[in-house]
Structure 1
Amino acid sequence: MALRRAADSLWRMGVRAAMILFSALLALLAPAPDVQAAPAASHLAADTEARWVPFELTGNQIRFRTLLNGRWVDAILDTGVTDTAVSARFARAAGLKPLVAGRADAIGGSVPLSWGAVDRVEVGGLVRTGGRIAIIDADPRVTGAAPVDLFVGADLLAAYALEIDYDAQRFRLLSSGRMPFRGVTAPLRLAGPTGLYLSELDIGGRRYRPVIVDTGDGSMVTLTSAAWRGTGAASGPVTTAIAYGLGGEVESEVTILPALRIESLPASEVELRIEPDTGFSARKGAAGRVGGGLLRRHRVLLDPGAGRMILAPAARGDWPVTRSTSGLMVSQRGDRLRVLHVMRGSPAAAEWQAGMEICAVDGAPIPAAYATSPLASWSTGAPGRTVRLRLCDGPERSLTLARFY
């Protein structure tokens, strides 16, 4: 469970940005060119219902190990990826050759990729032989401290029902039309040529459609600025945060929604990201996205073939929002913390700037294992606590933590 402990500590550090936005990585700008590959053929094993795949949550992303061309690979289950992709690093090691160049629309902008032929991909009871795979140079900031080499997308998943049991941290693939548990049913469909999973949300009594359902996005809910202005809920404090997509760094506004609904299923205390109207959701004609941060409060069945998403409350249906009380989003670089972003309206807003480096917290130097140490909790500590932060160029500053959004 080392990955899970590391991820929890990263949230406490305020480096959520390093993990949150890896969604819809490969929404193609144009149809993929033909690749000289064996025709793709997929099937489910006869015992697929028994083939649960264990996973760990890191930054609310579903990470697991599976087989690609007979090699074990670390993977993310990502319905926001329209075409399954492999890292260029793994492709080189496995002898997967880039054959045809292309481009994809991603969080942060357009990115280059290559297409190659693949022999065999296995995910639980699903086996696909032949077909193509995208090859990408994945920015390590997108997936946090632990590298990932395979992004399992809608081209593999959409023909089947995907059941995610967040309580037991396992998932499986079933024949479309199966209903293994009871819950609230919401519409789910695939968007034409993009292959994105689309559903609906109700905020303040207003229905928002479509919204992208993205298991690879670690955030809870994202809305476009236009959709947010129409909620009638735009009265609470709003701050800023950054995140990383394959297309680069993205800054968005962040607030906390007291409540929303997916059909008749309520959710309270939901972190909302407000994306510019030039952002990814708007470019795909969507009002926003539902990410793993909200999905993890439920048992989930995604079955676009049957036109439905089924949600049932999980044991941790009240999974709390982790809020920064410092306003400093940082990442570790050796024996120091580098400030990535200073959140608007936060206790740090007046005196801190991105690029500053911290070498000690309350007199304690930054250890190599900082991410998994108790020291990392200072950034989301109790309001009213004063933290002493020593800058690497010498002076020490005091920062009093506060609830600011």
Structure 2
Amino acid sequence: MRRALFTLVPLLAVLIVSAREPAKPVPAASISPAARDRGVYHLADDAEARWVPFDLTPGNQIRFTMQLEGRDVTAILDTGVSYTLLAKASPAVDTAKLVAGGSARAIGGSVELGWMPTRTLAIGGLARTGGGVTVTDLPAIATGSLSAVDLLVGADLLAGHALDIDYAAHRFRLLPSGRLPFKGGAAPLRVSPERSVYESTATLGGRRLAPVIVDTGDGSSITVTKDGWKAAALNVPSTTAISFGLAGPAVSGLAIAPDVRLGELTAHAVEVRIEPAGGFSQSIGVAGRIGSGFLQNYRVLLDPGARRMVLSPGPKAGTPPLRSTSGLLVGVEKNRLKILHVMRGGPAAASGWKDGDTICTIDGTPIPPDYATSPVASWSAGAPGRIVALGLCDGTIRKLELTHFY
């Protein structure tokens, strides 16, 4: 079963770095990541057998362990990141090697970057010698967890090979480009020369949207620009939601689209985020994103070298998306829940809830340490007509009747 809490609050970790080469020699600290040493890559002969186990964060992101400079580090697989990013707070940062590296666009605004050269890096059957990583602040909220990860593994490390993600078995592997380990619906895929991320196309309401970023680091399902949603002309109700990127929060529209087509595959009843005018996608010149909230319903092959993405339906494909019936999107803060967003048109908005309110009990039960994966979390998308007693941390009890509203 999907997690009720963060399926409704997908957390994003998208980073786009300029890939332009410098026009003339400049100091090392100001050279873009694209102009730095890219390193030497080697895929082991037995890479096919070297599956990497992972778990899904509460924000639907692929979290796993890899090696940096011979030490284990935690990482997120993020095809929406141009260049692999190391958290500034990670013990793996060598401050003696760290130099300033400019800035980058991210969801919520922009972030300052550093650059750190590396000697060795390894993921499953793939090893790299030389090269380096970008460095910036990577807060825990970017993964929906109470603890942060060390790395976001980006397109620079992944794009030279085929990436086989078996969501049902919670494992992935890197293969030689051109391999086709399973059958499924194919859609176009490339690494954009402008943005250095994975891109495809999608069709919504008969309207072709291109390009759309294929972003395993985005915990939401499908995201489109306001113009794209308007062009699709879908007559369905909508509400609002909040997401979190490296640069902070962003509020978007939220609706359930009757169908979305990706190449040969048609998916029904798909959750769609609608970015406001001037939002992240529009600012970088794309029509939207395909996130892990959608991809996790399939076994996925991403092979930009062979120009294809292949999707094979998994056990959860065809399951209707979980919808909020409370109208409250919450985050976990130790023994309490903090209201991150009150959804437009929902029962919580009608009864006066505000962003920042805190909840310490649900129907008299204190918030457990494992709230995000506990049965208690299901209240926010419970059966319409149920009345939930929510205990605020000041001792006040508020009752909320759950309702379908989008």
Between Structure 1 and Structure 2, how many residues are aligned?
Answer: 394
Shift in alpha-carbon separation, 1:215–1:96, aligned structure 2, 3 A: farther
Check conservation: 1:29, 1:103, Cα contact below 8 A: no
Check conservation: 1:102, 1:115, Cα contact below 8 A: no
Please say if 1:20 is aligned against 2:22.
Answer: no
Aligned to 1:338: 338
Q: CA deviation at 1:29?
A: 7.8
Q: Give CA-to-partner distance per residue, 1:305-324, whole Å, 9 cap, x none.
A: 11111122223222441211
Aligned to 1:47: 46
Bigger Cα displacement from structure 2, 295-304 vs 239-248: 295-304
Check conservation: 2:6, 2:372, Cα contact below 8 A: no
Q: CA deviation at 1:95?
A: 5.7
Please say if 1:360 is aligned against 2:361.
Answer: yes
Shift in alpha-carbon separation, 1:29–1:225, aligned structure 2, 3 A: farther
Aligned partner of residue 90 in structure 1, secondary structure:
coil
Alignment of 1:5-404 (within 5 A): 11-13=3-5, 16-17=8-9, 19-23=10-14, 25-28=15-18, 33=31, 40-58=39-57, 59-91=59-91, 97-145=97-145, 146-233=147-234, 235-350=235-350, 351-404=352-405
Looking at structure 2, the residues matched to 154 and 12 of structure 1 have their Cα atoms a distance apart, in angstroms, of 30
Aligned partner of residue 378 in structure 1, secondary structure:
helix
Q: CA deviation at 1:72?
A: 0.3
Q: Give CA-to-partner distance per residue, 1:191-238, whole Å, 9 cap, x none.
A: 1132111111112222111111111111110000001000021x2111
Aligned partner of residue 168 in structure 2, secondary structure:
coil
User: Which residue identity lines up with residue 113 of structure 1 in the other structure?
Assistant: L
Q: CA deviation at 1:128?
A: 0.7
User: Which residue identity lines up with residue 252 of structure 2 in the other structure?
Assistant: S
Looking at structure 2, the residues matched to 224 and 139 of structure 1 have their Cα atoms a distance apart, in angstroms, of 26
Looking at structure 2, the residues matched to 332 and 34 of structure 1 have their Cα atoms a distance apart, in angstroms, of 37
Shift in alpha-carbon separation, 1:14–1:343, aligned structure 2, 3 A: farther
Shift in alpha-carbon separation, 1:336–1:301, aligned structure 2, 3 A: closer
Check conservation: 2:121, 2:128, Cα contact below 8 A: yes
Aligned partner of residue 90 in structure 2, secondary structure:
helix
TM normalised by structure 2 equals: 0.91
Check conservation: 1:199, 1:211, Cα contact below 8 A: yes
Check conservation: 2:8, 2:322, Cα contact below 8 A: no
Shift in alpha-carbon separation, 1:345–1:149, aligned structure 2, 3 A: same
Q: CA deviation at 1:396?
A: 1.8
User: Which residue identity lines up with residue 254 of structure 1 in the other structure?
Assistant: L
Give unpaired runs (5+ residues) of structure 1. Answer: none
Shift in alpha-carbon separation, 1:300–1:333, aligned structure 2, 3 A: closer
Looking at structure 1, the residues matched to 367 and 99 of structure 2 have their Cα atoms a distance apart, in angstroms, of 45
User: Which residue identity lines up with residue 66 of structure 1 in the other structure?
Assistant: M
Q: CA deviation at 1:331?
A: 2.0
User: Which residue identity lines up with residue 11 of structure 2 in the other structure?
Assistant: I
TM normalised by structure 1 equals: 0.91
Q: CA deviation at 1:39?
A: 5.9
Q: Give CA-to-partner distance per residue, 1:284-316, whole Å, 9 cap, x none.
A: 211111111111122211111111111222232
- The RMSD of aligned alpha carbons is 2.1
Check conservation: 2:101, 2:134, Cα contact below 8 A: no
Shift in alpha-carbon separation, 1:29–1:308, aligned structure 2, 3 A: closer
